[in-house]
Structures are given as C-alpha cells and as structure tokens.
Amino acid sequence: MSGVYLGTSEFAATVLGILAGSDQGPELVVTLPDRRRGRGRREQASPVADKAEELGIEVLKSGNVNEGDDLDRILEVGGDWASICAFGQLIKEPLLSELPMLNVHPSLLPRWRGAAPVERAIMAGDPKTGVCVMRLVAGLDSGPVALREETGIDPDEDFGSLSARLAEIGGRLLVEALASAGRGGIDWQEQTEEGLAYAEKISAEDREINPSRSAGQIHDQVRGLTPHIGAWLPLEGDQRLGIRRTTVLGAGPAAGEFGETDGWPVLGCGEGAIRLDRVQPPGKKEMDGDAWLRGHGLP
C-alpha cells in the first residue's frame, strides 16, 4: 500500500485508477473540496473524489493539507511514500519533510515545469513529450527524477488524446516507482537547468487567435486547448467563434480574411492559412465548419 494519494484532476483520476489496481493501491485519497461547476453552478466533486468513491477508497476533501485535522489524518495514514498528481495545493512544511512523496508530472523535465505542461508542449509545436515521476521538493517541479518515459506528439493530436495517453503512462510509472522506492532501489537523477521552460497557467490571452501568426502556430494553439478550454477567433460585434479543429493550408486569403475552399471556410494567416474543420458559433453547439458556412456564410 502506498498509504496516501493526493490528486484532483481528470488526469489524476486516471492515474489513481491504475494505482488502485496494483499492489501499491492507496488507503486514503486526498482531493480538493467540491466546487461549483458548469452552467448550473452546482457543487460537484472532483474527478479524483468520484474515482475514489467508485473504488471504495476513503476520501478526504481538504482545503488545506498543511495544518489541522487534515494534516494529522494524512500523517496518521502515512506510509513509507505518498504519491501526488495534479493536486492543486502547495505542499508545505511539516508535511513536505514528514511524508516523502512521488509526484507524477506530464512533461520531460526540466522542460515545462508548472501548471499547464501538456497544453504548452502542444502549443509550442514540440514533437515529443512524456511523463516524469520525481521526488516532491519545495521548488516548482524541480525534484530529482525517479523514472521518465517519452512519447511522440502527432502533428494533429489535441490535448484530449495526448493527455489520456500520458495519464496511462503516468499511472504505470507511478506503480513502478513506488515499488522501487519500497525496496530502496531508485536511482535518482537530479534535474539540470538545461532546456528549462515554464508551463504558465493558460490565460485569456492564450485563447484568442491572432491571424497575424502563422497557420502552424494557430493550428498548434487550437489543438493544445481542445477540448477542455477552447481557442476562439474574434468576429465583428464582439462575437467569438470557437475553433476546435483546423487543417493547415499552404496558401489562402490575406491574414485575417475569410475565404472558401471546396465548401469549407478558410482563414488567412500571417503565413499560410487554416481550414476551419470544427467550430462553435456563439451560443451554439459545436459543428463542422462546412455546416457553419452553409448556415451563416462568410463573416
């Protein structure tokens, strides 16, 4: 048993499912409190809370794991090693020192330390990424690495498919790392600063499409934010057209101008053009770009 697992996101829920099916399954799962989500703003449990309840594992929903009863409960369960993945809280002393943790991080550290490593890797056009399992330390994703595994990024792959694959890798590596840690058999690899890049949280500015950029850059932006966040293109009258899938074209209209190719809408870019394969009009559901063009015409 790994004792305690801390996580919150959908990615972390996938990792938990794999961990729970192994000999390293946790006794206690710690996650963030329920939050208001969706259009109805109803309180909903985190994906990790839902997965833990489905698996019959005790759940602690904590607003602060670093003090009070929550800290006491985590240390009571303890274990030789805890594990953490996309939890959403900063781990501080004394928890940081009293309970060693293995952290699952979906990037090839030190590249893309920080909050949005999968999105940033795609948006930067990286040809590959991966997962590292490292020792949690006070610095941001800077601890020594126990295990790492690379995987390629397909030129048309979006966040949804890549994140799912990385979560599967992360779960498998975490099981292996916990087993090795229990035997004292980890060969820790200290991180260097070479190739360091920070994966800042996705901002509102990151979502807006600027047609002066190249078609390839916009294509990477769209797939890095699909399907969970979404990129959008400004239209007249303060309207926004959500862009969910694109194809890079070698030529097209002038940058910022719309055109039509074989019944599909095309947007001119600073270099090349993009075909709008999947869009979300204001207040509407997603649809194919040709259907949107038939119903609305060119902007």
How far is residue 119's CA from residue 157's CA, in Å, rounded to a whole number?
11
Tell me the domain boundaries of the chain: 3-199, 204-296
Average pLDDT of the chain to the nearest whole number:
96
Domain covering 204-296 in this structure, CATH number? 3.10.25.10
The pLDDT score that the predictor gives to residue 56 is 97
CA torsion, ordered 10, 12, 13, 17, to nearest 10 deg:
150
Q: Is 127 left (phi over 0), alpha (psi -120 to 50) or beta?
A: alpha
Average pLDDT of 260-283? 97
Query: 201-216 pLDDT, tens per residue?
Result: 999 999 999 999 999 9
Given a cut of 70, is residue 150 above it in pLDDT? yes
Average pLDDT of 10-29? 97
Among 76-80, 221-225, 242-246, where is mean pLDDT lowest?
76-80
- Top CATH class of 3-199 equals alpha beta
* CA 260 to mean position of chain CA atoms: 34
Given a cut of 60, is residue 189 above it in pLDDT? yes
Q: Is 263 left (phi over 0), alpha (psi -120 to 50) or beta?
A: left
Query: 57-75 pLDDT, tens per residue?
Result: 999 999 999 999 999 999 9
How far is residue 149's CA from residue 109's CA, in Å, rounded to a whole number?
11
Which residues does 19 contact at the CB level (< 8 Å), separation at least 6? 2, 5, 25, 26, 83, 171, 174, 175, 178
The pLDDT score that the predictor gives to residue 19 is 98
pTM of the model: 0.95
Q: How far is CA 147 from each of CA 86, 105, 107, 157, 170, rounded to the nearest angstrom?
A: 17, 11, 12, 25, 10
